[in-house]
Amino acid sequence: QEGRAGWCCPGASRHKFAYTARGRLRLRAGLPIVECNSHCGCGGDCPNRVVQRGAPGGLRLCIFRTADGRGWGVRTLRSIRPNCFVMEYVGEIITTEEAERRGQEYDRQGATYLFDLDYVEDVYTVDAARYGNISHFVNHSCEPNLQVFNVFIENLDPRLPRIALFSARHIRAGEELTFDYRGHVDPVDAESSRMDSNFGLASGGAPGGSPRARGRIECKCGAGTCRKFLF
């Protein structure tokens, strides 16, 4: 497909193809993923169509109750190779103004699911309180095994990326899945005993982040290089 770059969205938008022939991610963290779509000249079997196909069929994930006060978490029942698509963070897309309003309401309830879409500017937020998937339950770690990427498929608006989580390394069967909340989310109820997300409002301390910041929140990830505080 590389030779037909002009036929496909990555070539047309001057971005590199994100995947190998087997669908493994080959971009470094921070770069956008531009997948082929209905406007491309390639077919549905193009290797540059990964996130749009949904979670891999061989993936087996489960929600479990953590034993160290971090609420619920997600673990994989099968090993996952490096640079593989694992899941998409999904929800209702709302404006930052609406996120501010809902955030105040969620604060009173003690839990929220807001994830700022701030690839180029802080305009929209994903709210997974009413609509979502297993990604709600993925906990934070300062040494995560998942990496967040911004993905563009049918929509190339830089303010509205899709959020995909890829394996940052080989992940063993039975291992908990984690990603780094810093710059993405600000958890408010990490010790909740209810089966809800441990996510909160996006951090105001990160570049391009939301101004909805709180006080310092203790990190309980247990990593050797733990920063001790999430924000």
The dihedral built from the CA positions of residue 84, 89, 90 and 92, taken in this order, carries a sign that is negative
Q: Cα(149)–Cα(101) distance, rounded to whole angstroms?
A: 27
* Annotated binding-site positions: 8-9, 36, 40, 42, 46, 70-72, 139-140, 142, 181, 219-221, 226
Positions at the binding site for S-adenosyl-L-methionine = 70-72, 139-140, 181, 220
Q: Which residues contact 5 (CB under 8 A, 6 or more apart)?
A: 11, 17
Closest C-alpha to 141, from 208, 84, 198, 192: 198
- In the block, residue with structure tokens 């000249």: 41
Element (H, E) at 75: strand 72-76
Binding-site residue numbers for Zn(2+) are 8-9, 36, 40, 42, 46, 142, 219, 221, 226
Distance CA 36, CA 53 (A): 11
Select from 148, 122, 168, 131 the least CA-distant residue to 51: 148
